[in-house]
Every structure is written in structure tokens, then in C-alpha cells.
A and B are shown apart, each in its own frame.
Chain A
Amino acid sequence: MNAPVKSFDGITVSVQPPVARLNLRIAPADLAAASAAFGLPLPGKIGQGAAKGDHAAWCLGPDEWLLHAAEADQAAITAAFAKARATTPHSLTVISDREITIAIVGPRAQELLSVGCPLDLARMAPGTAKRTLFDSAQVVLIRDADDGFRIEVWRSFFPHVSELLDIATRELAAGL
């Protein structure tokens, strides 16, 4: 699954290697405890992201965060949160295998995404993430740089999203 889906001069679309991926629900007042458990100050505003080494976090809702880390760290993270649970109620769900990450990189990446994403992507700052739609599939869209995005899509919707990206990439390459 690690082979590039498609690439041409303007865009490279590739499936990313697996990561430890976790969904955290916690009261915003308890954010400090979660930050300590994860080892990274979690962002407080919806959309914002934070990263340190291979740890990354994005705030997706008023009490919801998406956490990324190296696969090897998953057990340590869940253990740290399990310890924090004694004093700080929260829910931490491992979703590493639920989703597949597709990276879209290149000067025309934003143009390609606009094929299926209803957001005004020009307004999306690098370093932020949002839950949104790609065609009819719910995805989390992460903007890493001006010309770099990641889409996290549920495994069962992956063929649909991947196929659409593939068609759109070929259309862009052909100048349509």
C-alpha cells in the first residue's frame, strides 16, 4: 500500500506509511493533563495543530483531538493516558488501522483537492487540520505546507477517494 497512487509534474499522490493514530475526547479544562500524558502541548482552538518530533496533534472539535505518533510509541501513549484516567476522565480510542493517509504534494495540490472538497482551501493555513468531506466521504484534511496536504480517510472509503484522486490527477495532467 506504500506505492505512489499517481504522480506527474504538478502533483504526487501517495499512500503514507502507517502511524499510531488516536482520537482523544477530553474536557478543554483538562487539556493540561492530556498534554502532559501525550508529551506535547495540545492546541486549544479548533483547526489548530501542534507538532514535536514525530508527535503531532490537531484540535478537531470543542473537546476532540487527533493525535499522531510513531507506531512504536502507541503502547506508551495509551499507557500514559490510562494512568491519567485515574484523576482526569477522558476517552482515548486507537484508530490507527481505521484510516489510511494519502499525501498530496505539489504546486497543484490545492487544485486537485478542490475536485472533491467543498472548503475554501485558500483560507486554510499550513499546520492546521479539519474534518470535512471529500466527495461524499468524511475525511480529516491536514495542511502541512502551502503545497502539501494529507487526507485521512476511513479504510472502507479509501477505494472511492483514491479512485477519484487518480482520475482527477490524470485530468489535471492532461490539461483538462
Chain B
Amino acid sequence: MLLIHCPYCDDTLPELEFAYAGEAHIARPADPSKLTDEEWRDFLFIRSNPRGLHAERWRHINGCGRFFNALRDTVSDRFLTTYKAGQPRPDVTKLEAAE
């Protein structure tokens, strides 16, 4: 089972308490009617789906209830870090240097 660090509870807890909520940092366009069909498709459907580092949303649904973001390696499933919603994606090189 994955152990996930909730940045609000500041505790590392079992996967069962969390719900995955898709790729992070996808902002809804401010004015959808100005978008071309291709741009709207990209917003709705196109995801980066990387083999490697993935910024993603999780929700501590059976806990504090908050959405937060995580950086996880999709090959090893290892979490590099988790951070509060609204914060920018952390710089990975700094994270690795800190380890």
C-alpha cells in the first residue's frame, strides 16, 4: 500500500484514506468561448501521462478532506514530495539536492 504524506495533517498515512484526482496544475481557461476546438480538447482530454515524474492531485477524503498535490514517479510509484493546493510545482533538482 502507498503511504502518502498529507501536507495539511503533516502526517504520512495509508493510501486507503486518499482519493486520486488526476493530473495537477491544469487551469480551467478563463474564457472557454474564446478557445478553438483544439485548445478546448487539450484542456478537457489531453494529459501528459508521463513515464516518470508526475504532478498529480490527491484528496485526503477519509481524513482532513483537503485536496493537495504530489510529485510521484510513475515507474516506481515513489512520492518525491507533496505540497498544498495552490502552491507551484516544486523544483525537482532542489528536492534531489536536499536529500
CA distance A120 to B64 in the complex (A): 17
A15 within 8 A of B: no
Chain B 52-98 interface residues, beta-carbon cutoff 8 Å to A: 62-66
Our pick among B1, B8, B9, B65 for the contact of A118 (Cβ within 8 Å) is: B1
Contacts of B11 in A (CB 8 A): 46-47
Contacts of A47 in B (CB 8 A): 9, 11
Q: Taking CB as reference atom, which chain A residue is nearest B61?
A: A138
Pick the interface stretch among B12-20, B28-36, B40-48.
B12-20
A119 within 8 A of B: yes
B37 within 8 A of A: no
Contacts of A51 in B (CB 8 A): none
B95 to chain A, nearest CB (A): 24
Instruction: Return the CB mask of A10-54 against B: 1 if under 8 Å, else 0.
Output: 000000000000000000000000000000000000110000000
CA distance A70 to B13 in the complex (A): 32
Interface size on A, residues (CB 8 A): 13
Contacts of A62 in B (CB 8 A): 8, 64, 66
Our pick among B1, B10, B13, B64 for the contact of A64 (Cβ within 8 Å) is: B64
Contacts of A64 in B (CB 8 A): 64-65
A131 touching B66, Cβ below 8 Å: no
A133 touching B62, Cβ below 8 Å: yes
A52 to chain B, nearest CB (A): 24
Our pick among B8, B14, B17 for the contact of A61 (Cβ within 8 Å) is: B8
B10 touching A46, Cβ below 8 Å: yes
Our pick among A46, A60, A131, A133 for the contact of B16 (Cβ within 8 Å) is: A133
A138 touching B10, Cβ below 8 Å: no
CA distance A130 to B8 in the complex (A): 13
B13 touching A119, Cβ below 8 Å: yes
A25 to chain B, nearest CB (A): 10
B65 touching A130, Cβ below 8 Å: no
B21 to chain A, nearest CB (A): 17
Contacts of B63 in A (CB 8 A): 61, 130-132
CA distance A133 to B63 in the complex (A): 9
A sample of 18 more A-B contacts (CB under 8 A), given A46-B9, A118-B16, is A46-B11, A47-B9, A60-B64, A61-B8, A61-B65, A61-B66, A62-B64, A64-B65, A118-B14, A118-B17, A119-B14, A131-B64, A131-B65, A132-B17, A132-B62, A132-B63, A133-B16, A133-B62
- What are 9 A-B residue pairs whose CB atoms fall within 8 Å in the complex? A47-B9, A61-B8, A61-B63, A62-B8, A62-B64, A119-B14, A132-B63, A133-B16, A133-B17
Listed from nearest, the 3 A-B pairs whose CB atoms lie closest are A61-B64, A118-B14, A118-B16
